[in-house]
Structure 1
């Protein structure tokens, strides 16, 4: 690795030290379905979001719940303490398109219809509310 790349890699690594994130790759559902669930919880307090995901009927919400628990655990690991109610919120959640499997289905008169089995990648970032900043903005 060259010096310039190493320096930029170290900067990237240093900037990610304070961020607690979790990623989920190659989820076998369409990005559109996963984005619907991501939009439900974006910006919420984490324990409230866990409740929303727990009682949602969507299959994507099960995967998102597991990812959120992982992000909370990552935050606790980095900060060396347990998360309290009302302390953490979902800062960012986004869904990107993953690889698409292309399959063929038989159709009438010797034809074939193409089936696209989509997948997605989900990234979720959890952060703590800053009490000091809120008090300064209120004064």
Structure 2
């Protein structure tokens, strides 16, 4: 690895240490369905988002709720204290397309219809409100 690449890699690694996040990979539902749930909670305070996810009828909301709890736990582990109400918010939540399993379903007259079983990857980054206010001042 060249010196320039090593420096930028170390810089990225240092930036990731300051941010608390959680990643869920290979969720067996389409990215479109998961993005609908992600859009509901984007930018919300985390405990309010947990309430929204808990009472949502979507199947994907249960998985996002569990992932959000993991991100909160990661933040608490890094900062060595419990998160208080109104302190954390969802900075970014992104849903990326995962691997697609391609299957064939029998169809009339000897044909086969293609079925695409999609999957997705979800990433949640949580941050404190106070840190954002300090950067703006």
Q: In structure 2, do the counterparts of structure 1 residues 81 and 112 end up closer, same or farther at CA, with 3 Å as the change threshold?
A: same
- Post-superposition offset of 1:35: 0.2
2-structure distance, mates of 1:48, 1:17:
26
Which residues of structure 1 form unaligned runs of 5+? Answer: none
Rounded Cα–Cα distance in structure 2 between residues aligned with 1:132 and 1:94: 20
Q: How does 1:88-103 map to 2 (within 5 A)?
A: 88-103=88-103
State the TM-score, normalizing by the size of structure 2. Answer: 0.93
1:15 is aligned to: 15
| SS of residue paired to 2:38 | helix
Cα offset, 1:58, TM superposition: 0.9
Report the CA distance between 1:4 and its aligned residue: 2.8
After superposition, residues 1-139 of structure 1 pair within 5 angstroms as 1-130=1-130, 133=133
CA-atom RMSD in angstroms? 1.7
| TM-score normalised by length of structure 1 | 0.92
Q: Deviations over 1:69-119 (max 9, x none)?
A: 010011111111100001000010010111100000000010000000000
Find runs of 4+ consecutive structure 1 residues off by over 6 angstroms: none
| Secondary structure of residue in 2 paired with 1:16 | helix
Aligned residue pairs total 136
